[in-house]
Structure 1
C-alpha cells in the first residue's frame, strides 16, 4: 500500500482487505460520509483499536528480575531476553551488568562474567550459550557414568 499512499481514495478502498473480522465489523459499521480523508480514517482506526498496540515495558522491569533458587539458567535467560525485547531503548551496559548481578553469587556463570568481563550483548549471549552447553555436557556425562557401572555389573554376572 505504501506505493499508492498519495492516492487517498485508493487507500480507503484497499485498506479493508487488510482487516481481520473484528476490525471489519467496525469498518462496516461506519456511517456513510462520516470520514473525509484517509488520515482521518487512520486516526479513527487508531482510536478504536488502541488496546491492540504494544506498550513498551519500563527498564525497571528488567532490573527487578533475578534468578530464583532451583530455576535453570535456560529458563531464566529465556525470561530475561523476553523482557529485554519488550523494552525500548539502548541499555546494553545496564543489560549486561543486570544479567550478571541477577545470578546467584555462587553461580558459575556469574563467576565467569566477573573473571572475564564482557563488553557487548553478543558476547553475553555467547557466554550464556557456552555455559549452558558445558552444563548439559556435564549432566550427560554424569548420566553415562551412572549407566556404565550398571552395565559392567550386568556383564560380569554372565
Structure 2
C-alpha cells in the first residue's frame, strides 16, 4: 500500500444490488488511485460484503491479471443483479393511491422518473398530472395551464404540497 493511503468509505456490495453501480461507486471513491492497477485490485475486496467476498476468495490465484479483468469477472458473477431500465410508459400506469399524500406520490413519481432516465419534460408533466385523482385541484390547475418546463412543474407541486401540509 502506498504511504499515507487511507481506505475510502465504501458502500459494501451485498450481492443483491446492481454490480455496475457498485463498480462506479468504487472507482469514484478510488479516483486518485485509478492509475494504480495493483492497488485497485488489492483494495477492491474491502468494498465487498460477505456474499461477494466469498466469491472473491474463491477466485483462482493468478487468474486475474489486472483491475479490468477483476471487474469483468465481478460483473459476470453478479450479472443477474443488474437493474433493468424501466420503459417510459410505466409512468403512464403510475397513479396516486387512495389516501396517499401529494408528497408521497410526488416522491414515488420522481424516483421512478429518475430511474427511467427521463429527459422529456413534457412527458413528465403530463404523466404526473394523469396520475393525480380526477378531482384533484392540482390536476385541474396543470390541465388548464400546463407547465412550460420542469422547474415550473416542480414549483406548482411544491405550492400544492404546502397547501396540503397546512390542511393536515
Output the TM-score relative to the length of structure 1. Answer: 0.74
Q: Secondary structure at the match of 2:155?
A: helix
Task: Please list every run of 5 or more consecutive structure 2 residues that lacks an aligned counterpart in the other structure.
Answer: 1-29
1:114 aligns with 2:114: no
Encode CA deviations 1:79-108: one digit per residue, 9 max, x unaligned.
222221211241211010111222233321
**Aligned-pair Cα RMSD in Å:** 2.1
4+ residue segments displaced more than 6 Å? none
User: Out of 70, 83, 96, which is 1:54 matched to?
Assistant: 83
> Hey, which of these two has a bigger chunk of helix by percent?
1
Higher RCO (C-alpha under 8 Å, 6+ residues apart): 2
Of 128, 131, 136 in structure 2, the residue corresponding to residue 99 of structure 1 is 128
Contact in 1 for aligned 2:92/2:130 (Cα 8 Å): no
Aligned-residue offset at 1:70? 4.2
Deviation at 1:46, TM superposition (A): 0.9
Structure 2 CA distance for partners of 1:80 and 1:135, relative to 1, 3 Å: same
Separation in structure 1 between the aligned mates of residue 119 and residue 58 of structure 2, nearest angstrom: 42
Structure showing greater radius of gyration is 1
* 5+ residue gaps, structure 1: 141-158
| 1:6-51 deviation digits (Å, cap 9, x = unpaired) | 3322322222222222221111111111222321111001111223
**2:31 aligns to what?**
2
How much has 1:59 moved relative to structure 2?
0.7
Q: How does 1:29-40 map to 2 (within 5 A)?
A: 29-40=58-69
Report how many residues are paired: 139
